[in-house]
Each structure stands twice: as C-alpha cells, then as structure tokens.
Structure 1
Amino acid sequence: MINLKNLQNFILQIAEEKGLDEEMVKDALSSALAIAYKKDYAHRDDKIVATMNDKAGKVAFFLEKTVFDSDAEVSDEAVRFDEHKHMMLSDARDMKKDAEAGDEIRIPVEYKDIFSRIAAQTAKQVIQQKLREIEKTTLFDQFKDKQGEIISGTVERIDQKAIYINLGKTTGVMFKNEVIPGEVYRPQSRMRFYVYAVENTARGVEIFLSRSHPLFLPAIFKVEVPEISENIVEIKGVARIPGVRTKLAVSSSVQGIDPVGACIGPKGSRIISIMRELNNEKIDIIPYSEDEKELIANALLPAKVEEVLMLEKHTVKVIVDEDQLPIALGKGGQNIKLAARLTGWKIDVRLEHDPEETVEGGVAETELEDDIDLESDDDTLEN
C-alpha cells in the first residue's frame, strides 16, 4: 500500500542527503509510480501519469491522451488515431469545453496501490536512474556557474597524466600541462584552482582545473583584492610565465584610488599572499596607461627607461642606461619578453651611449618564445 507520508519523508531525505531539489525528486518518484502502475494495470501503449497531492494526502493516477481531430486524419496520413494514445475532439470537449486538437487530457483511472514484485523492481530501477540523472544535472549546473572562477579542493590522487582534486561532491581533473612548473602536489594538500571548462559527458560531469591558465592569476586577484571584485580597479592586461614571473597592468577610473597600491595591499600583504599561493611566483604590478610610450616604459619596470621611440611595424626602440640594461632584459630575458607580450609591441632595447648598436638578447617579440633561460645568472634586480 502506498503511504504518502512515507513517500514525503523519502523525498525530503533524498533531497537533503544528495542536495537535490525536492520537486525534482518528487517528479522522479511520480514517474516511477506511474511505470509500476502501467506494468500491472494498463496497456503497454497507454501513457500513465501519477501525481502526489500533498493536501489530499494521496497519490492519483491518470491516463493521458492527446486530443485528435478526425478531420486532420484525411489531410495527414502520417498521424493515425490510436485508442491508447488519442481521444476524439468531440469526446474531449465533453470533459473540457475549450479542448483543441493537440491538447493533453488526463482521465482519472482506478486507484491501485499494490504492485507485483516485477513492477516494484521496475519502479525502483526507474527512480534510481532518474535520481542519477537529477544528480548529474544538478552537479553540472552547480559547477557550470563556477566556470571562469576560483574554487578550492584537496589533492586526491596523482597519476602519470593528471592530478585528481576532491571538490566535495565530485572530483575535478588537472592535467599535467595545467600545473605550475616546479610546484609539488601531495595527497591531502588543499589548494585553489581555476575552473576553465565544465562538460556534461556520458561518463558524468567533468570539471577541468588549472593553476597555470592565463586567467588563473586575474581570478585570484579578483578574490583577494576587493577593489577588483567591486570594479573599482580593473586588470587591463596580463602576461605570465607560470611559476616564474607575471606582469599585471591595472588601472582605476575612481579618483584617489591607487590601483597598484590596492593590488599590493597594506605592507604588501595582498601580493605576498598571492605569491605564496603561486609557489612564490614573482609578480610585477604596473600602472596601465593609454599613452603607449608610457605603458611600454611601465611594462619594463623595475628598469628605468630613458626614452621610447616608436618605429614601423608595431616596433619600439627603448633607450636605457647601461646599468639598467640587465634589469630591462631580466633573468633569461623574462622582463623584456613579458613586457612585449603585455603591451603587444615588439621591443628593441638599446643603450643610451650607443642607440644604434643592437644589444644581445635585447629584442623581444609580442609572443613568448620557448627559449627563456630560467637558469641564467644575469645580475637582475628583483622587486
């Protein structure tokens, strides 16, 4: 016998345990009851619908049929009247005066609450399947909303291809090309990750994570710097060598706000926290400028630039003193290459005393190359 109170308790319990919407669980249970009823008491072509009436305290069963217009049968031979699926328009209007062809009409059927073992087993399988589908849909919607954001997780296991992250209700995956080079990942380590993709596949909901994605660092700053999340400070551009160095250009349209200072934080608290988060990756925060010469000079900080000369083919010649040259280039060419990528200009650094002579390693294209020597012993000033 169907006990509605027990069913209601079941719905509440399942919804709470699995974090699902009560109405969705209720619909899944209704579908299962309808299938059990059809298995024992209806024709295989009938469409049985079950509804739970909380106020009345009972479950009701209906035979649902589509209103059929006999005149349409002549003009459309593909649709033929089926007594199990259709109801003639004249009969439908006896039940509902304004019924039209194509409407769905529900006809109450005899209430039954005792089902055979086979019907009960079928209903059980249906509700298990539907609950899995609801869980999958709920999980997908939950994490799809987090795509492009930062989430926390715990390292669960590691294999040759990827690192698997426990996200609470599910597991995310971070492939080896998405890690920060040199960073150590140990089981049970809690870290933050950038969600760059969420896919609903036959295997389930797959959540793809990264710590080296180009948008990971801006997303971290949005979390750590309230002025960015509140749109008081804007990140205008970013260039990054994951695990090594990043240049971030920031600006503010609010008078009196120092965008660089906001990102650095009181006594460097914000930037220090973020650098620790990124395995002590060096981060240069520079003021953005609409003036391209000024922007390029800023991008080469901490080097002091004497002059910026605009040339053809989106190239600039940057003049520096001899003692500023190693700073402008940076360790292994990091500084000049990141500056070029950040600004979108090809940068050619020259010495002030001989601006016509090419400097070894003094030219950087706008795209990062694979020849950055991270082991270079260049005497570079660090921020």
Structure 2
Amino acid sequence: MMNLKELSRAVEQIAEEKGLKPEVVLETVEHSIAAAYKKEYGRRGEIIRAKLDPETGEVKFWQVKLVVDPAEVRIEEEEEGAPTQKEKELPQDKDHAKEARAGAEPQEGEEEKKLPRFHPERHIFLEEARKIKPDAQVGDELTFPLEPKEDFGRIAAQAAKQVILQKLRESERQSILEEWRGKEGQIVSGVVQRFERGHVYVDLGRTVGVMFANESVPGEHYRTGERLRFLVLAV
C-alpha cells in the first residue's frame, strides 16, 4: 500500500485553518491522487478513482467502466482521425470532393456515426458486465481494483500536492462566497487594513472587503487598525 499519512495530515491542517468541510477536503485529496496515478501508470481513456483512508493514510485505486448497450455505441476499428474507406474513395480534387459530398444522399449507417464512440478502457458491454455482476444494467458503473504501486514516487506525490492546494484554494473561495452571499444589506464588523487611491480595504476575517472612495462618508477619516461597522452592499 502507498502511505500518504503525512500528506493527509497536512491537508487536514490546511482545511482546518481555512474552515473547509472535511468531506470536501477528502474528496479533493482522492481526485488529486487519482489524477497523479493515472498520469504515472494509466492508459488513455481510463477513468481512475482513489479511496483514501484518513486514519491510516492508505489509498486504493479502481478503474471505472460504464455499462453500455452495443446497439447504442459505435465501434471504430480504424485509428481516430484517419480517413475512412468511404472518404478514400471520394474524388481527390477539392472542388469535385465538395460537389460529391454536397450531392450525396445520406447512406444507411450514417446515423450510427452520431452514436458515442465505444472506448474499451472506459466502457464494457452489457453481456460482459453481467458475467461479473448478474444484475448489471445499462448506465451502471463497474469498478475493477488496480494494483497498488510501491514506486508511486516523489514526483507523483508532488503533483498530487499541487493539485490539492489548487483545489483547496478553489474550495475556500466557494466557501467564502457561500458564507457572504446571504449577508448583503447587513451590518458587519471589520478592521481597516489599508488605503489605495482613496479606497478603503477592510479585513473581514476570512476575506477582505473594499469600500470605494465614492461610498465613504464625506469628511470621515479612517485609521489603519481601526475597527468599524460596515454595510455590505454587494458580494
């Protein structure tokens, strides 16, 4: 097993300092670790999920496949982007090619091309799925355990940390927005932090507010570090 106990502790500490929900932090960690694992060991098109035990720091990985009906997907044997046999048979002259395409009647099977493409790394046919899970239905997700990698490595762990910190910042911004969204029109307490071009910046705790020059009371003077009460106009 790969031990991420130290990383887990660090993230929990950051979450506590930022006032984030523990489940949000844990989900962020798992998404980040799964992304790092896929980058190191995964294949194109794979869907990887990770489950982290916050108590032990151990993590497990699964590959996820969506159950599909063969009639509702298209299977392409040729490489994606390569010309099909039908395209190869069209006239090579550009003008003639345009005329040929414009005048051609829709052929049987063209509707099939609009179906989603089957990808063996992320899809599994219903018949095969029921060999694994007898009550499987189209749209279900099947998970397949992946072998833990002892050499997950410092690079992958560092990549996970970077993604985690980025997502924590995003979560913190969202948390602050939710906290202040319902405070428009209310009176709140804040500390004058600094002045820039006549605007007053106010420390509101987890965030900073700004009182524009045209919103201040004429003739009033403010001092850095002074605690005042402010009306929240907009979030």
Equivalent position of 2:167 in the other structure: 130
SS of alignment partner, residue 27 of structure 1: helix
Deviation at 1:2, TM superposition (A): 2.9
Deviation at 1:117, TM superposition (A): 4.2
- Structure 1 position 148 matched with structure 2 position 223: no
Equivalent position of 2:201 in the other structure: 164
How far apart in 2 are the matches of 1:55 and 1:159? 47
- Structure 1 position 192 matched with structure 2 position 232: no
The alpha-carbon distance between structure 1 residues 55 and 89, as it changes in their structure 2 partners (threshold 3 A), is farther
Equivalent position of 1:52 in the other structure: 52
Deviation at 1:129, TM superposition (A): 1.1
Deviation at 1:21, TM superposition (A): 0.9
Instruction: Give, as a single letter, the amino acid of the residue that structure 2 aligns with 1:77.
Output: K
How far apart in 2 are the matches of 1:94 and 1:133? 42
SS of alignment partner, residue 234 of structure 2: strand
Map 1:1-383; keep pairs closer than 5 Å: 2-3=2-3, 5-53=5-53, 58-73=58-73, 76-78=112-114, 79-198=116-235
How far apart in 1 are the matches of 2:56 and 2:159? 27
* Preserved CA contact (<8 Å) 1:40 1:116: no
Write the deviation string for residues 179-224 of structure 1: whole angstroms up to 9, x where unpaired: 12222112111111111211xxxxxxxxxxxxxxxxxxxxxxxxxx
How far apart in 1 are the matches of 2:56 and 2:165? 27
How far apart in 2 are the matches of 1:94 and 1:55? 35
* Preserved CA contact (<8 Å) 2:45 2:119: no
The alpha-carbon distance between structure 1 residues 158 and 57, as it changes in their structure 2 partners (threshold 3 A), is closer
The alpha-carbon distance between structure 1 residues 184 and 160, as it changes in their structure 2 partners (threshold 3 A), is same
Write the deviation string for residues 136-170 of structure 1: whole angstroms up to 9, x where unpaired: 11111111132221111111111224111111222
Structure 2: give runs of 5+ residues left out of the alignment.
75-110
* Preserved CA contact (<8 Å) 1:164 1:173: yes
Write the deviation string for residues 1-47 of structure 1: whole angstroms up to 9, x where unpaired: 73254354334322212211111111111112111211221113211
Write the deviation string for residues 253-300 of structure 1: whole angstroms up to 9, x where unpaired: xxxxxxxxxxxxxxxxxxxxxxxxxxxxxxxxxxxxxxxxxxxxxxxx
Task: Give the stretch that moved more between structures: 67-76 or 101-110.
Answer: 67-76
How far apart in 1 are the matches of 2:2 and 2:50? 12
Deviation at 1:55, TM superposition (A): 7.6
Structure 1: give runs of 5+ residues left out of the alignment.
199-383
Equivalent position of 2:89 in the other structure: none
How far apart in 1 are the matches of 2:227 and 2:5? 43
The structure with the largest helix share of the pair is 2
How far apart in 1 are the matches of 2:55 and 2:191? 45
How far apart in 1 are the matches of 2:191 and 2:177? 20
How far apart in 2 are the matches of 1:184 and 1:160? 14
Give the TM-score of the pair, scaled to structure 2: 0.76
The structure with the largest strand share of the pair is 1
Choose 1 or 2 for highest CA Rg: 1
The alpha-carbon distance between structure 1 residues 53 and 123, as it changes in their structure 2 partners (threshold 3 A), is closer
Equivalent position of 1:328 in the other structure: none
Write the deviation string for residues 224-257 of structure 1: whole angstroms up to 9, x where unpaired: xxxxxxxxxxxxxxxxxxxxxxxxxxxxxxxxxx
Q: How many residues align?
A: 198
* Preserved CA contact (<8 Å) 2:2 2:152: no
SS of alignment partner, residue 165 of structure 1: strand
How far apart in 1 are the matches of 2:123 and 2:178? 37
SS of alignment partner, residue 197 of structure 1: coil
How big is the alpha-carbon RMSD for the aligned residues of Structure 1 and Structure 2?
2.2
SS of alignment partner, residue 168 of structure 1: coil
Give the TM-score of the pair, scaled to structure 1: 0.48
Instruction: Give, as a single letter, the amino acid of the residue that structure 2 aligns with 1:152.
Output: S
Write the deviation string for residues 20-79 of structure 1: whole angstroms up to 9, x where unpaired: 111111111111211121122111321111012458873110111211110113665331
Asked which structure has the greater RCO (Cα within 8 Å, sep 6+), the reply is 2
